[in-house]
Amino acid sequence: MISRNPKNQRPPFERWYAYILFVFVGYCIADLAILAYRDRMLPQSAPPSHPKSAQIDSSVSRGAYNSITSRNMFASNGQIPDALVDKTKGAEAQKEDEPVPSQLPLNLIGTLVHSNPEKSIAAIEVRGKNQVVSYSPGKEIEGMASILKVERQKVIFRNLNSNRLEYIEMKKEGNKVAFGGARPMGGGTGREVMKTGENNFTIKRADLLKYTNDLSSILMQARAVPNREPGTGNINGFRLLDMQPGSIYEQLGLQRMDVIKSVDGTPVDSPAKAMELYNTLKNSPKVTLQVERNGKNETMTYNIQ
């Protein structure tokens, strides 16, 4: 027996079937129309070309700089112009004044002039402090002066208070201690240094102070150069190339071509150290000097009485 729906109900969404069919048919018709007219929709020729914009010339003519060259800020010939000076001061304003003798409390004890000016050394004593310090160009002396140049027996510096150039010189020849001619080492009269044995000597403190107080005379009595080690080039002492007959060097038993290597065990490896070590002689009861002679090391002993 066949059952029937008493309410005669329809399937769900039946009323939308007609709309869905209409949309599908319309989509097919549009697609076919596009395929038919596609070639006509494409452009048949290239688009028109646009004219290029004119380029602006950014270069500047030489005449635009005439106002600068006319004021000589940059010379047209390529040369740097002279420095501007105050014309009211005359020709003297164009150059610095010459150095003048200094009134600062400084005494020049000695100088060692090197082939490289920056390595030159000057031993300078500040009066009142009773000490000698070695200075090189560029160094300041107790806040009073700045070293500019070290010459033979002369030092040029700038006074930091007045900012002017000044100089100091070593004592004149007439103030130096005079020594007699060469005499054999021994106990003869007039000898400041007495030889008491092999490489042993005795010197009176009064005579020692006489020499150290006039160090400029001592430096003038011999000529020494730095002695360098083969290979490394390091300074290991100072070689005596020549000395005056009868000088204090000869009385101390030193000979030409000796290499002074150390004083009381302190290496003499720089000009500054050679200048400063002499101060140890003033108060020491005994001084030992290590010397290289003919390839052998010898010790010279000096007893100070």
pLDDT of residue 16: 81
Residues 287 and 232 in one domain: yes
Query: What is the sign, positive or negative, of the torsion defined by CA atoms of 268, 269, 273, 274?
Result: positive
Q: What is the DSSP letter of 176?
A: S
| Residue where a domain stops, chosen among 132, 155, 170 | 170
Residues 255 and 199 in one domain: yes
32 located within any domain: no
Q: Number of folded domains in the chain?
A: 2
User: Quick one: CA torsion of 179, 185, 186, 189, rounded to 10 degrees?
Assistant: -10
Q: Are strands 100-101 and 165-169 parallel, antiparallel or unpaired?
A: parallel
pLDDT of residue 17: 79
Helix (H, G, I), strand (E, B) or coil at 2: coil
Percentage of residues of the chain with pLDDT beyond 70? 71
30 located within any domain: no
| Residue where a domain stops, chosen among 170, 194, 215 | 170
Residues 208 and 256 in one domain: yes
Mean pLDDT of all residues in 6-24 = 75
122 located within any domain: yes
Q: What is the DSSP letter of 265?
A: T
Residues 116 and 202 in one domain: no
| Residue where a domain stops, chosen among 111, 141, 170 | 170
The number of C-alpha atoms within 13 Å of 261 and in the hemisphere containing its C-beta is: 16
Using the predicted structure, report yes or no on whether residue 7 has a pLDDT greater than 60: no
236 located within any domain: yes
Q: Which runs of E-coded beta strand occur in the chain?
A: 100-101, 106-112, 121-126, 132-135, 140-141, 145-151, 154-159, 165-169, 193-197, 200-203, 222-228, 235-243, 259-263, 266-267, 286-293, 296-304
Mean pLDDT of all residues in 229-251 = 80
pLDDT of residue 158: 93
Residues 296 and 211 in one domain: yes
Using the predicted structure, report yes or no on whether residue 178 has a pLDDT greater than 50: no
Least reliable range by pLDDT among 7-21, 47-61, 170-184 = 170-184
Question: Helix-strand-coil percent breakdown of the chain, rounded to 5?
Answer: 25, 30, 45
Model confidence at 180, pLDDT cuts 50, 70, 90, reads very low
What lies within 8 Å, CB to CB, of 74 at 6+ separation is 68
Least reliable range by pLDDT among 26-35, 97-106, 130-139, 271-280 = 271-280
pLDDT of residue 176: 37
264 located within any domain: yes
pLDDT of residue 133: 76
Model confidence at 204, pLDDT cuts 50, 70, 90, reads confident
Q: Please provide the average confidence, as pLDDT, over all residues in the chain.
A: 75
Helix (H, G, I), strand (E, B) or coil at 72: coil
Helix (H, G, I), strand (E, B) or coil at 240: strand
53 located within any domain: no
Q: Which residue has the tokens 């002695």?
A: 227
183 located within any domain: yes
pLDDT of residue 101: 92
Residue 195: give the domain boundaries: 175-304
Q: Contact 252/270 with Cβ under 8 angstroms?
A: no
| AA letter at 79 | Q
CA distance 243 to 247: 7
